[in-house]
């Protein structure tokens, strides 16, 4: 089997309302859909949602880099994950977002070729319940309290709260949210690198005893050497996110004793191949994981859900982004049930695709074998 054609589509889907984090506001899911064709007729789909502030990519850079990657992969067997990953890394450094779109499509092809769902191809079983949280966007206190109450009333089992402004306002946000939703529903915090080390210590100590499961990336990613000190000072567990892109980052953080949990995102790791390596390292170190994402649609999150079933130490899911969008162009794929339930398809491969009529409306670049 050989790769013979790659189609790169540029999409923009409006969110129901702006999604705000400490790094800025997001109004649209500006994403890339990818379709890889093989000489056997098997086709694979991939997606990425590039982030200027996290992985330094945009749909523009992704489209440009996709042409280099496609030319490098042309004629390669898509089932050889190690070779495909090595080829992409030899073509260009970084660019983890667009690489993840390719990687997802390649694994879609490989598992379709075997006639099994992706989770089974990865060595997993569909024998666990996946429950997603839902996220409270960064805003004024009253607006965040209102949103948290709505999330609870909609039946989600966990509430994720974006923070990262300053000690006084962030502590007030959580205190008021906790008063409004009660003590039973767990809260998950995400500062998106918004605090310095001293502020993080103060906020996390102020919020001790409030049934908080963890805090993601409390300090800037470049200050990872301060994480062990912060972890010792905090009664709230720390989760690495932006400071952990691939398995090399994971190994460094594990050796430092820098975090209690790791958040794996396919758009950070360059896709499933390196995500599996992160998971292996974390499991060996007895570190539990979450699988999250950026602002992808159900296509990429279907890949993330399959991946979650491949390792029992992946115990948290953050799959709410597709629920924030005004439009859903994905056919099949994961389905959302009540109480944050995420159902994984039993179809071969990803078990998801993009509606053909939707794709025809999008700008497209095609790279073909000579």
Which pLDDT score, from 0 to 100, does residue 140 have?
96
Q: 3: pLDDT confidence band, cut at 50, 70 and 90?
A: very high
Which pLDDT score, from 0 to 100, does residue 22 have?
86
Between these two residues, 369 and 204, which has the higher pLDDT value? 204
Q: 265: pLDDT confidence band, cut at 50, 70 and 90?
A: very high
Q: Is there a catalytic annotation at residue 241?
A: yes
| Per-residue pLDDT tens digits for 297-355 | 999 999 999 999 999 999 999 999 999 999 999 999 999 999 999 999 999 999 999 99
Residue 96 DSSP symbol: H
Dihedral angle sign, alpha carbons of residues 353, 355, 356, 362: negative
The answer, yes or no, to whether residue 273 has pLDDT greater than 90, is yes
- How many distinct structural domains can be found in the chain? 2
Same domain, 89 and 211: no
Choosing from 57, 241, 242, 296, the catalytic residue is 241
Same domain, 46 and 124: no
Question: Which segments within 64-223 are labelled E, that is strand?
Answer: 130-131, 134-136, 159-162, 187-190, 212-216
Q: Is there a catalytic annotation at residue 216?
A: yes
Same domain, 233 and 348: yes
Choosing from 170, 190, 249, 296, the catalytic residue is 190
Same domain, 61 and 162: no
Residue 315: give the domain boundaries: 120-352
Read off the pLDDT of each residue in 124-129 and give the average, rounded to a whole number. Answer: 96
| Per-residue pLDDT tens digits for 86-103 | 999 999 999 999 999 999
Residue closest to 71 by CA, chosen among 43, 100, 51, 91: 91
Same domain, 262 and 208: yes
Read off the pLDDT of each residue in 30-41 and give the average, rounded to a whole number. Answer: 98
- Angstrom distance (rounded) from CA 294 to CA 265: 8
Q: What percent of the chain has pLDDT over 70?
A: 100
Same domain, 107 and 195: no
Same domain, 208 and 254: yes
Given a contact cutoff of 8 angstroms between Cβ atoms, the answer to whether 152 and 184 are in contact is: no
Inter-CA distances, 316 with 21, 116, 175, 311, Å: 20, 25, 23, 11
| Per-residue pLDDT tens digits for 7-34 | 999 999 999 999 989 888 999 999 999 9
Same domain, 93 and 14: yes
Which pLDDT score, from 0 to 100, does residue 23 have?
85
Q: Is there a catalytic annotation at residue 162?
A: yes
Same domain, 203 and 347: yes
| Per-residue pLDDT tens digits for 222-260 | 999 999 999 999 999 999 999 999 999 999 999 999 999
Same domain, 84 and 174: no
Residue 294 tokens read as: 């950026």
Choosing from 108, 133, 147, 216, the catalytic residue is 216
Choosing from 201, 265, 268, 274, the catalytic residue is 265
Given a contact cutoff of 8 angstroms between Cβ atoms, the answer to whether 3 and 36 are in contact is: yes
Secondary structure element (H or E) that encloses residue 361, with its range: none
Residue 344 DSSP symbol: P
Choosing from 162, 201, 268, 274, the catalytic residue is 162
Which pLDDT score, from 0 to 100, does residue 202 have?
98
- Angstrom distance (rounded) from CA 128 to CA 135: 23
Residue 363 is part of a domain; what is its CATH number?
3.30.390.10
- Angstrom distance (rounded) from CA 250 to CA 254: 6
Inter-CA distances, 43 with 32, 74, 79, 82, 122, Å: 17, 14, 12, 19, 19
Distance, first Cα to last Cα, the chain: 17
Residue 216 is part of a domain; what is its CATH number?
3.20.20.120
Mean pLDDT taken over the chain? 97
Please, what is the angle between helix 272-284 and helix 81-91, to 10°? 110
The answer, yes or no, to whether residue 370 has pLDDT greater than 90, is no
Q: Is there a catalytic annotation at residue 108?
A: no
Residue 318: other Cβ atoms inside 10 A: 23
Same domain, 161 and 100: no
- Angstrom distance (rounded) from CA 276 to CA 122: 9
Which pLDDT score, from 0 to 100, does residue 30 have?
97
Same domain, 155 and 171: yes
């Amino acid at each position: 089997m050989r790769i013979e054609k790659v189609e790169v589509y540029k999409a923009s889907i409006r969110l129901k309302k702006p999604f705000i984090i400490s790094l800025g506001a997001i109004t649209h899911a500006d994403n890339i859909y990818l379709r890889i064709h093989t000489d056997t007729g098997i086709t694979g789909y991939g997606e990425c949602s590039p982030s200027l502030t996290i992985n330094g990519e945009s749909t523009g850079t992704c489209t440009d880099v996709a042409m280099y990657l496609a030319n490098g992969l042309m004629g390669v067997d898509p089932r050889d994950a190690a070779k495909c990953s090595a080829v992409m890394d030899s073509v260009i450094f970084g660019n983890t977002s667009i690489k993840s779109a390719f990687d997802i499509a390649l694994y879609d092809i490989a598992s379709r070729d075997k006639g099994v769902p992706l989770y089974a191809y990865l060595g997993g079983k569909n024998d666990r319940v996946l429950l997603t949280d839902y996220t409270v966007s960064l805003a004024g206190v009253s607006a965040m309290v209102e949103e948290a109450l709505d999330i609870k009333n909609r039946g989600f089992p966990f509430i994720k709260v974006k923070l990262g402004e300053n000690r006084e306002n962030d502590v007030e946000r959580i205190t008021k949210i906790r008063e409004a939703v009660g003590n039973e529903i767990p809260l998950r915090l995400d500062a998106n690198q918004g605090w310095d080390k001293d502020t993080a210590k103060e906020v996390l100590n102020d919020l001790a005893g409030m049934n908080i499961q963890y805090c993601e990336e409390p300090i800037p990613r470049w200050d990872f050497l301060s994480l062990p000190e912060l972890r010792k000072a905090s009664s709230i567990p720390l989760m690495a996110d932006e400071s952990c892109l691939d398995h090399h980052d994971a190994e460094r953080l594990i050796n430092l004793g820098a975090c209690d949990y790791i958040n794996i995102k396919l758009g950070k790791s360059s896709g499933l191949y390196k995500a599996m390596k992160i998971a292996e390292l974390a499991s060996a170190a007895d570190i539990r994981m979450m699988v999250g994402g950026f602002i992808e649609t159900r296509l990429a999150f279907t890949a993330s859900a399959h991946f979650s079933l491949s390792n029992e130490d992946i115990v948290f899911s953050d799959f709410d982004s597709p629920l924030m969008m005004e439009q859903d162009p994905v056919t099949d794929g994961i389905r959302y049930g009540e109480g944050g339930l995420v159902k994984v398809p039993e179809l071969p491969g990803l078990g998801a695709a993009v509606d053909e009529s939707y794709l025809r409306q999008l700008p497209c670049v095609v790279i073909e074998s000579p």
